[in-house]
Structure 1
């Protein structure tokens, strides 16, 4: 039945029997037969068909949602069995929030590929909230997020500390002051922040609560790179991870505003759904831990 679910998922995602058949290296009649057999097994139609489209009906939406989870679990089961006799190999679905995913994860993946070339990672970068949901649905083998969560469904472990600082254009007046600024000195500044659901946005809000501070002007952007470019251009100030700004600091594109009580610290955590880990996933986690430990020295 897993192959029937695989064919069904492919038809749904391609929205077309012919395109699904081509990707699965099957004939279109064979794909149609798989779908008919699945619908007979479930006891109802799952797809609405016409000459122009293939769409899910309500029953199809339920089956599609669970089919994705079942296929992910089947793949994990097969990998665990293979691990009993084989070296670290196979696929890993890795998800990470933006700061970790864009500025740290590429170095970890490069090191792992050098040592374990038979491991095939796929990467998804989303905000923290979305990564948590994908791990819950078994769409990711592991998620790396900013902060720490208490989720009964997930295993969560802090793996590193992240230092966050307030940055501004190198021409900003507060960078020329010889004393440390108080957070209240920044009340009139325009703050450029990430969107709701982002770990970086959550860190900024935690900072504001800690110092009982509310910025009067906030702009919201959905990209850390866009925030850095805007800060460099003098549009405003922001709270960003040191990991994300190393190149800009080195080249003098932005500067850190000295503020009492900073850097503001948060954690990076890894999330998994199953207590059983494939050899490939264990290898990735080991590589991640070694890399972060080296950077902390």
Structure 2
């Protein structure tokens, strides 16, 4: 069993406020303070300090956070294994690009094994990493960036990052000068999504930004975005795999912009998480 004081510590790491942590855990604020003081005395180090009146983890606090997250995750896995007699259940997170266009065959093959079950959470990269840190996922399959110091990872595949438009758009199947794309109506995923972060990073690398486009519309739903791109003759940027099921869409390339990016398995750095990745990856 995980020490209750470690669970209090992890909640404070998440909320960064003693009063709100106490409310979330149905405790008194002095009890939260006592739990943190106990851990600081036990490990002989400060776990939190204030920077500009904001509660912040110390270097030692970040180390304890990583270990505590792993302990909570492994306890949840133990509970699942003790209750399951045949097969296994995985809890995985996937971004909308990966979930919509990349892993349907893997999940199908995985579920063909008797007793296997799976819970799939589809969301943007930032939220999936949060769930991973909280021990709610065995691993996440993402295309966005992540902190390599906080998570372990393995490459799933490399994929070309391209412009996407309707097949009747003047850009379809062409290589265009960079300045031409700024005349277009750009559709993008919400902040926190991997594809948006990648595209903004590419623009920054070439000394451009989103304000240069004639119009920018944010859409969190991929299906709606593709519908609007067809109807309004807009453009977006995404992995080439999004085209494989929609024959009304085409790719285009920006001159001198040749970009490949990785899809990664991201997981907590412990043997149980690694074994979950190994098991799923074989399918």
In the superposition, the TM-score normalised over structure 1's length comes to 0.65
Contact preservation (8 Å) 2:240, 2:251: no
Seen in structure 2, the aligned counterparts of structure 1 residues 147 and 58 have a Cα distance that, compared at 3 Å, is closer
Show the counterpart of 1:275.
270
- Secondary structure, aligned partner of 1:171: coil
1:281 Cα deviation from its structure 2 partner: 4.9
Are 1:183 and 1:211, in contact at CA under 8 Å, matched by a contact in 2?
no
Which of residues 158, 179, 182 is equivalent to 1:184? 179
Larger radius of gyration: 1
Segments ≥4 residues shifted beyond 4 Å: 68-72, 78-83, 278-281
Matched, 1:261 2:224: no
Deviation at 1:73, TM superposition (A): 3.6
Equivalence for 1:74: 75
Contact 1:69 1:137 in 2 (8 A): no
Q: Give the Cα separation in 1 of the matches to 2:259 and 2:74.
A: 39
Selected match of 1:163 from 154, 160, 164: 160
Name the residue aligned to 1:227.
225
Structure 2 unaligned residues grouped into runs of 5+: 9-19, 28-68
**Contact 1:164 1:265 (8 Å CA) reproduced:** yes
Moved more, 272-281 or 100-109: 272-281
Once residues 281 and 119 of structure 1 are traced to their aligned partners in structure 2, the CA distance between those partners, rounded to angstroms, is 15
TM-score, scaled relative to structure 2: 0.68
CA deviation after TM superposition for structure 1 residue 155, in Å = 1.1
| Matched positions, count | 226
Instruction: State the distance in 1 between where 2:93 and 2:26 align.
Output: 24
Indicate if the aligned counterparts of 1:134 and 1:140 stay in contact, CA closer than 8 A.
yes
SS at match of 1:175: coil
Alignment of 1:188-199 (within 5 A): 188-199=183-194
Whether the aligned pair in 2 keeps the contact of 1:163 and 1:242 (CA below 8 Å) is yes
Displacement of 1:245: 1.6
CA RMSD, aligned part only? 3.4
The 3-state SS of whatever aligns with 2:229 is helix
Query: Match for residue 143 of structure 2?
Result: 146
1:201-251 C-alpha deviation (Å, 9 max, x unpaired): 012112212332333221111112111111111341110211112122xx3
How much does 1:93 deviate? Answer: 0.6
Q: Deviations over 1:78-122 (max 9, x none)?
A: 456899xx87x22111111110112112211101122x2222111
Aligned to 1:62: 25
- Whole-angstrom distance in 2 between the partners of 1:152 and 1:80: 29
**Residue of structure 2 equivalent to 1:293:** none
Q: 2:172 aligns with which of 164, 171, 175?
A: 175
- Checking the alignment, whether the CA contact within 8 Å between 1:147 and 1:199 is kept in structure 2 is yes
